[in-house]
Structure 1
């Protein structure tokens, strides 16, 4: 079944469940619900409480969209619409999209000029575009934070490697590279301990040298057998 056919089937099933209680707005409500991911829609079809909650959110969104005058046409001074009131109404609308980031997205949208926020509340299409853009921005920020974190960890390991090598080189210049590579397989906390405790470092280097000798010996045996 194609994605379009799957979505059409989901729409029919949703409509049949929504229509008995909301005959006049069943079509609009179903259309709003179909903006959600298919996986969420399938879960709603199996969970009556989840479906009822989503329908409730969609209904509130429709009611607010049909009554923009209640929000916009009061005193133009700030007495008209408080920030808290705008925030609550905007959150209700944003939450319909089930992004999992409703609080953050609402906060981002509320940073705009009040007229723009009022427009968002009264224009479902504009709100949808703004929510999509805000969600994309949040995802990009999360990716950048992850990249920075990964980069920072890599830099830390490089610095640790340099410090370990400088100490290992004094104990065994000939095999410093190989031994350092083996020691760097330990976690960073253990490596930090080696750097602080010279006796532990010497013991670790000795173990690595023995492992290295065993490894080299086995390789020689393999080469001898191949001759």
Structure 2
């Protein structure tokens, strides 16, 4: 069975489940739900609660599409309230995709103009594209942050270690390796302070020497 046949079969099954309760909008609702990922659709066919929740979300999106003036023609207080409502509705639709980042993705999508957000609520295909795009951005950011933090932390520690060793060696050449290793367990900010304040460094070295004597 190819992909088109799969979608057609899913569509027929979904339609037959939706039609009894929503005869007037069964076609539209089925079309909207068919834009969701395959695993989500399969889950809906197995689980009536998941299907009902998704249908309710699709219905709300339809209502927004049919009555946009109700959101845009209110006074300022109502508009801020409607912004909260838009956020809630958008979160519910985004959450269907089970990305694990529903809150962040909703926040990213809400940064757009209200008209654009309304369009997302009424156009499942467009919403899916934006969700995928936001998810890709989040993934790339996480990878970059991990790469940068890992490499920079390693580089920083190495540089600090070299500078620290050269200073400790002058104070205690015999135990410079051991003392430097002990000092490197400190917080990077504290280490930088030691490098800039030789009195503090001398005190830290003395403490490390005392600890080494106890170990020996």
C-alpha contact (below 8 Å) 1:33/1:41 kept by paired residues: yes
Question: Which residue among 50, 56, 78 is the counterpart of 2:76?
Answer: 78
Q: Which has the larger radius of gyration?
A: 1
**Partner of residue 216, structure 1:** none
Matched positions, count: 191
Cα gap change, 1:19/1:160 in structure 2, threshold over 3 Å: closer, same or farther?
A: farther
CA distance in 2, matches of 1:135, 1:2: 28
Between 1:152-161 and 1:3-12, the stretch displaced more is: 152-161
Normalised to the residue count of structure 1, the TM-score between the two structures is 0.59
Normalised to the residue count of structure 2, the TM-score between the two structures is 0.62
**Partner of residue 207, structure 1:** none
Q: Deviations for 1:139-173, whole angstroms, at most 9, x for unmatched residues? A: 3222322322432454367569969x999xx99xx
Cα gap change, 1:48/1:125 in structure 2, threshold over 3 Å: closer, same or farther?
A: closer
Which one has more relative contact order, counting CA pairs under 8 Å at least 6 apart?
2
Q: Deviations for 1:92-128, whole angstroms, at most 9, x for unmatched residues? A: 1452242343322332233334454455556666555
Question: Which residue among 79, 84, 91 is the counterpart of 1:87?
Answer: 84
Helix, strand or coil: the match of 2:69? helix
Runs of 4+ in 1 over 6 A off after TM superposition: 160-163
Give, in angstroms, the shift of residue 82 of structure 1: 2.6
When the two chains are superposed, the root-mean-square deviation of aligned CA atoms in Å is 4.2
C-alpha contact (below 8 Å) 2:35/2:125 kept by paired residues: no
**Partner of residue 39, structure 2:** 39
Give, in angstroms, the shift of residue 11 of structure 1: 2.1
Structure 1 gaps, min length 5: 172-187, 202-227
Helix, strand or coil: the match of 2:36? coil
